[in-house]
A = this chain, B = another copy of it.
Amino acid sequence: MVRHMSMDDVNQSPSEPRDDGAYTLDRKDISAILYAVEIEDKAKLTQLMDPLHAADIADLLEQINAFDRSRLIRLYDRDFDGEILSELDDSIREEVIAVLTPQVLAEAVRDLDSDDVVDLVEDLDEPQQEAILDALEDVDRAAVEQSLSYPEFSAGRLMQREVVMAPEHWNVGEAIDHLRNAKEDDLPDQFYHIVVVDPRLHPVGNVTLGKLMRSRREVKLTDIIEDVFQVIPVDQDEGDVAYAFNQYHLISAPVVDSEGRLIGIITIDDAMAVLDEEHEEDILRLAGVGEGSLSDRVIDTTKRRMPWLAVNLATSIAASMVIAQFEAAITQIVALAVLMPIVASMGGNAGTQSLTVAVRAIATKDLTGANVWRVIRREVMVGLVNGLIFAVVMGIVGVVWFGSPALGYVIAAAMVVNMVVAGLAGTVIPVILERVGVDPALASGAFVTTVTDVVGFFAFLGLAAMVLL
């Protein structure tokens, strides 16, 4: 079970290190919770759920079935925390909100920071969104609606509006006094830097709280600002924001409007969550799986996967048409039908290797105009060398299996051709897609395997028809 120490635990025994590396809820914990739900033992349920972090409760809700989920939520009732909603998958979140009573929902969201509310409501249906916005106080509601006015997936949606700032002429003492006298509500829940701004509200640097505390009161803030400082435009794509945090090891970064004025701040935990989502998107898109979660309905998942399967059907029919051109050859030498999938499959695999490396390198900005030709040349060389090696192996297999050296040469030659083409297509296609503004993770796979299937069948069957007939 995940250890989550609350204030009350502090004077008890300190948290022991866990003996395994896993953070999953174990089955016993889940069974105990479900049993408490079964016998409707509210006290027991509360006792079991209290030590859990909201993120773990969200995971628990995602992993049990819909019936248990609604019973659990009804029994848990007023203890239901807004943060659990923030942590839930979209599809489950909608279901949970529908189960919560209006009072519980209102109470749950009122405790959240404005950026969490934004994250919570942005994917909800209109009526559910309204229900939550109505539960907020006017000033919070205005802040949330302001954030929602920025484009989806932009820095504006990620930032929190509560910023700790100080004018550049202040010294350490003035900044400390300001912090100590500020009202609780005017400060973010957690903050690590003070943003120093000029008279036009343009950020000029960050001062860490550690440095602030350790400096004498008369030191000027501008004398202790951090070396590394990155300003984020409010309309910047969240993927680029995450990249900047990872690349420059930022902890927080000020967000500015189109005039360069400070309007919010993004912290690294939000950037980390975005990085995680972007990766999820890449990995699923490469496999032709749309977004979604394990808890989605079968029909939704089926619909999301269909387009990619339809594309694959079209491309494999195209490859079959190539085969159909060589029906006469296959009728004469049936070994061709036996061996042809090997050539196509090896090309497909080699192509997927090059493609994945290229897509990943584009995402991490390691594949750029400066090195694209070198990378293409390298992938083609890798394809050539591996092609030659496996050509020899397959040539031998062809001879041993079918007793025909000529068949061995043909399959070997086709293998080299297809693997060189695989290296080329696997790199060039994602680069071109990226240039024309299509996400290479989404579309490259279909193109590359079409190329390797068509070239594989054509090279093998075509060479066979020329050499063997």
Contacts and interface: CB of A to CB of B under 8 A. Distances in A.
Contact of A381 (B3, B190, B298, B330): B298
Contacts of A240: 21-23
Contact of A210 (B209, B256, B287, B338): B209
Contacts of A202: 14-15
Nearest to A248: B53
Most chain-B Cβ atoms within 10 A of its Cβ — which of A168, A214, A232, A272?
A: A272
A459 interface: no
A435 interface: no
Interface string A117-146: 000000000000000000000000000000
Interface in A302-351: 302, 305-306, 308-310, 312-313, 316-317, 319-320, 323-324, 327, 330-331, 334, 336-342, 344-346, 349-350
A390 interface: yes
Given A15-B229, A248-B55, A370 B63 contact: yes
A260 B385 contact: no
Nearest to A168: B10
Contact of A222 (B11, B283, B346): B11
Given A240-B21, A331-B331, A366-B62, A210 B192 contact: yes
A16 to B, nearest CB: 6
A342 B316 contact: yes
A222 B55 CA distance: 24
A423 to B, nearest CB: 10
A313 B394 contact: yes
What does DSSP make chain A's interface, helix, strand, loop or mixed? helix
A382 B11 CA distance: 51
| Copies of this chain | 2
Given A3-B230, A382-B298, A17 B260 contact: yes
A101 interface: no
A273 interface: yes
A391 to B, nearest CB: 11
Nearest to A446: B349
Contact of A191 (B210, B275, B288, B341): B210
B204 A27 contact: no
Interface in A219-235: 222, 225, 227-233, 235
Contacts of A231: 3, 15, 17
A17 B289 contact: no
Question: A198, A222, A256, A294 — which one has the most chain B CB atoms within 10 A of its CB?
Answer: A294
A78 interface: no
Given A260-B16, A272-B246, A368 B192 contact: no
Interface string A260-294: 10000000110111011001101110111100011
A90 interface: no
Of A230, A249, A286, most buried by chain B (CB within 10 Å of CB) is A249
Interface string A175-191: 01001101000010011
Interface string A1-45: 001111100110011111101111111001000000000000000
A319 B360 CA distance: 31
Nearest to A6: B227
The 9 A-B pairs of least Cβ separation, nearest first, read A287-B356, A17-B233, A209-B209, A337-B337, A14-B202, A279-B279, A316-B345, A21-B240, A5-B229
